[in-house]
Chain A
Amino acid sequence: GQNIDQPTEMTATEGAIVQINCTYQTSGFNGLFWYQQHAGEAPTFLSYNVLDGLEEKGRFSSFLSRSKGYSYLLLKELQMKDSASYLCAVRDRPPNAGNNRKLIWGLGTSLAVNP
């Protein structure tokens, strides 16, 4: 089946580093996305991984291991404004489905940054 798992909630302190994990099981893999969603707002794009390794973008980095079905989002130098839900999404390309693709989303990890 198709499944994406992330922790439901995490808490961290301002200035610290936090790692949000995501594991996935899909019939086909064609890329992994991380989005940030503040309460009451729409999700905004953070990162994209399709090959194994680390992608760094400022304070945020994302890592992917396709063989392990695993990704993490690393947030450094946490700020209060980083308090949000972090969504992991996998683009699934099932075998025998032609060009049909869809994004499968995790339920999100609610991160609370405390002073």
Chain B
Amino acid sequence: KAGVTQTPRYLIKTRGQQVTLSCSPISGHRSVSWYQQTPGQGLQFLFEYFSETQRNKGNFPGRFSGRQFSNSRSEMNVSTLELGDSALYLCASSAVGLAGYNEQFFGPGTRLTVL
């Protein structure tokens, strides 16, 4: 089985721009979760999508949004980028999702740098 894939792997943007990140889960997995990872804050949960619906949400501002398509692929969008948005963005897929026990499989991440 192919693993979780994320594109692009690296992005450089400037303040005020917007960005869209993509995640393709493992085949058959219906849940996709997004995380932001920074050295100072560690891994922080953004949101989880399951069967095209946002099921769980972290404490990020509305500039961070996402969606999931019928094939379970997910996109995350960040608008009006700020310097503090520079981070590694990870997505993770699982068969069941956060509601039930099921390990999450992480993608390699997208490294976003905001200048």
Contact = CB atoms under 8 A, between A and B. Distances in A.
State which size class the interface on A falls in: 20 to 34
A43 interface: yes
Nearest to A31: B101
Interface residues of B, number: 24
A45 B92 CA distance: 11
Contacts of B55: 99-100
B63 interface: no
Interface string B33-47: 101000001111100
Contacts of B105: 45
B104 to A, nearest CB: 7
A31 B107 CA distance: 22
B106 A43 contact: yes
B106 A105 contact: no
Interface in A72-114: 87, 89, 91, 99-108
B106 A42 contact: yes
Interface of B: 4, 33, 35, 41-45, 48, 55-58, 90, 98-99, 101, 103-109
5 A-B pairs with least C-beta separation:
A42-B106, A105-B43, A45-B103, A107-B42, A101-B98
